[in-house]
Amino acid sequence: MSHDDFAFEPVNGLPERPPEHERILWQGQPDTWQLGREALKINWITAYFAIVVVWRASVGSIDGGLAGAIAFGLPYVGLWAAAMAVIAVLALAMARSTVYTITTARVAMRIGAALNVTLNLPFRQIANADLSLSKNGTGTISLETLGETKFSYLVLWPHCRPGHVRVTKPALRCIPDAAHVAQILADAAEARVSQPVLERKTPASAGGLVAAE
């Protein structure tokens, strides 16, 4: 029998149904392979093990020739394979447990393979968005927020802009067709921010609703 850990969600990726005036424009998740490369450093780990294997094989070949090289190098090839398997499982778990959502009012991020967290970022609280694009079309959209809200790098990782530890920026990491998603985000944010905000005046003031700047 299949089991869905997120069956309690009324809408996939969101803790509750959006209001009637709010529409979902896009939903997605990280590309597993790209997440493994960028966040879990598959390429760096592979390069490290390649150096170790060559070094150990060369040491073994001095006295034992080809047989010695294989005997000294093969165990480290096995360690590399085990490390790749662990990283692949981690990347798959991180990607499959993540849902990024862009609506007409906000960006929502359901993240966390072990400890699940849903982050809601209204467009009016987003100061800027930066797109980092890879050659294969995947990319990361990092979000700079307004106000005094602070985010924990450890809680958000890997769903944050790499290297920005002091001022942590939430990010949609390694998403396919990132340029198109960035355009959806830009258009939705512009439309939302340009809408006037209606505030109800106090009884002491003139009655009715006024548009706030």
Average of per-residue pLDDT across 93-107 = 96
Half-sphere exposure of 136 (CA within 13 A, CB side): 9
Mean pLDDT, the chain, whole residue set = 87
pLDDT tens track for 19-55: 989 999 999 999 999 999 999 999 999 999 999 999 9
β-bridge partners, 144: 128
Per-residue pLDDT band at 3 (split at 50, 70, 90): very low
Chain segment 138-175, per-residue pLDDT in tens: 999 999 998 777 888 988 999 999 888 888 999 999 99
pLDDT at 113: 76
Regarding pTM above 0.85, the answer is no
Could you report the per-residue pLDDT of 166-194, keeping only the tens digit for each? 889 999 999 999 999 999 999 999 988 77
Segment 126-145 mean pLDDT: 94
The rounded distance, in Å, linking the Cα atoms of 173 and 157 is 10
Strand partners, 171: 142
Q: How far apart are CA 164 and CA 146, in angstroms?
A: 16
Q: Does pLDDT of 206 surpass 50?
A: no
